[in-house]
Amino acid sequence: MSHDPAGSHDHPHPRQPDIEDGPLTHHMALTEAVAALLQKKGVITGEELRRTLEDIDSRSPADGARVVARAWVDPAYRERLLEDVNTAAAELGIDTGNIPIRAVESTDTVHQLVVCTLCSCYPRMLIGLPPDWYKARAYRSRAVREPRAVLREFGLTLPDHVEVRVHDSTADMRYLVLPRRPGGTQGWSEERLAAIVTRDCMVGTAVPVATGG
């Protein structure tokens, strides 16, 4: 489809490079080669690979928000969530795979914040793919060094009597923040509660706010 039906398109447009215009890095080449070999040798099919990618991409913060909202209304579920997120999520029909996820609970005296300084470990199977800033060097280096300044830039200023507890997911665990249920939400349904639990609330760069009529 052309946006220039008259054919008089003689001026140059600034060019937005395509992804493939950059050089193929070592790891990109390796990924392509391994994926091709696995299919050629019959270990996986292209359809299985596609379905797996689609499954990963279909994860979203809404899944995590359902889990948080349930924990807010059901104290026994909250206990199970703090014990083992994967099992608790499965109760709600959410399959989070085999990487263990643990919940850390923010209270009126502790604010939890999650980072992965070494790469970009993130509970993807529960809240979807991480935002670009989570993977950026600025967040990864500053969240451990000056977390309060980082939180202020996210619009969250915490008083000194609240401990800021930063979790660096350096190894085999992924961390989910169980945020505090905000005041003014008494009697809300689980669905309504889940709607105020955003992605950032589950990373710890924001706190849920009672909004909506």
Partner 1 sequence: MPDQPRFDPGSTVRVKSLTPPGHVRTPWFTRGKNGVVVQLLGTFGNPEDLAYGGNGEPRRPLYRVSFRQSALWPDYDGAETDTLVADIYEHWLEPEG
Tokens matching residue 199: 């992605």
Residue whose CB is less far from partner 1, 10 or 108? 108
Neighbours of 40 (CB within 10 A): 8
Residue whose CB is less far from partner 1, 148 or 180? 148
Distance CA 116, CA 141 (A): 9
Q: By CB under 8 A, is residue 145 in contact with partner 1?
A: yes
Q: By CB under 8 A, is residue 166 in contact with partner 1?
A: yes
Residue whose CB is less far from partner 1, 68 or 116? 116
User: Which residues in 53-82 contact partner 1 (CB under 8 A)?
Assistant: none
* Among 121, 141, 169, 201, the one annotated catalytic: 121
| Residue 201 annotated among the catalytic residues of the structure | no
Return all residues near 130 (Cβ < 8 A) that are at least 6 apart: 120, 122, 124
Q: By CB under 8 A, is residue 118 in contact with partner 1?
A: yes
Rule CB under 8 A: choose which of 86, 169, 198, 205 binds partner 1: 169
Tokens matching residue 200: 């950032």
At 145, phi and psi to the nearest 5? -95, -40
Q: By CB under 8 A, is residue 152 in contact with partner 1?
A: no
* Among 58, 60, 106, 119, the one annotated catalytic: 119
Read off the DSSP letter of residue 21.
Answer: G
Distance CA 88, CA 70 (A): 10
Pairing of strands 174-178, 101-105: parallel
Contact 39, 45 (CB under 8 A): yes
Selected range binding partner 1 among 2-10, 11-19, 155-163, 205-213, rule: CB under 8 A = 155-163
Return all residues near 153 (Cβ < 8 A) that are at least 6 apart: none
Selected range binding partner 1 among 12-20, 36-44, 54-62, 146-154, rule: CB under 8 A = 146-154
Q: How far is the CB of 163 from partner 1 (least distance, A)?
A: 4
Which are the catalytic amino acids? 116, 119-121
Give contact residues for partner 1 (rule: CB under 8 A).
Answer: 100, 102, 117-118, 144-148, 160-173
